[in-house]
């Protein structure tokens, strides 16, 4: 598990690239979910944590999470946060 976490810390956002930052962030988080680094029924890291880890703005995080929510990979629990969905809860 430590190897996985270290791998994701090394992933960075290309702020100068052609791919929008929110799309890059959604891709990183999607891969973390699919690999199990972000486990089902566990919370997604806080906005502040993601801002610090990837050097992005809060609005960028909101857009990335919206993509993942549309894909069925995460869900919002009012008053509690954003959680990774279980595979059987996900859209096909």
pLDDT at 53: 94
C-beta neighbour count of 75 within 10 angstroms? 15
Convert the pLDDT of each residue in 1-31 to its tens digit. 344 444 444 578 999 999 999 999 999 999 9
Q: What is the number of structural domains in the chain?
A: 1
How far apart (Å, rounded) are the C-alpha atoms in residues 72 and 32? Answer: 15
Q: How far is CA 25 from CA 22, 36, 49, 80, 88, in A?
A: 5, 17, 13, 22, 24
Q: Report the CATH number at residue 16.
A: 1.10.10.10
pLDDT at 89: 78
pTM of structure = 0.85
Convert the pLDDT of each residue in 45-91 to its tens digit. 999 999 999 999 999 999 999 999 999 999 999 999 999 999 887 77
Instruction: Count the helix, strand and coil residues of the chain and give each as a percent rounded to the nearest 5.
Output: 50, 10, 40
Domain span at residue 79? 2-89
Environment class of residue 1 by beta-carbon count within 10 Å: exposed (0-12), middle (13-18) or buried (19+)?
Answer: exposed
């Amino acid at each position: 598990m430590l190897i996985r976490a270290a791998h994701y810390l090394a992933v960075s956002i290309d702020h100068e690239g052609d791919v929008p930052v929110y799309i890059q962030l959604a891709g990183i988080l999607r891969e973390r979910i699919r690999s199990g680094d972000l486990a089902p029924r566990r919370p997604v890291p806080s906005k502040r944590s993601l801002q610090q880890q990837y050097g992005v703005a809060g609005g960028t995080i909101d857009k990335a999470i919206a993509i993942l929510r549309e894909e069925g990979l995460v869900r919002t629990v009012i008053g509690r946060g954003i959680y990774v969905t279980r595979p059987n809860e996900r859209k096909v």
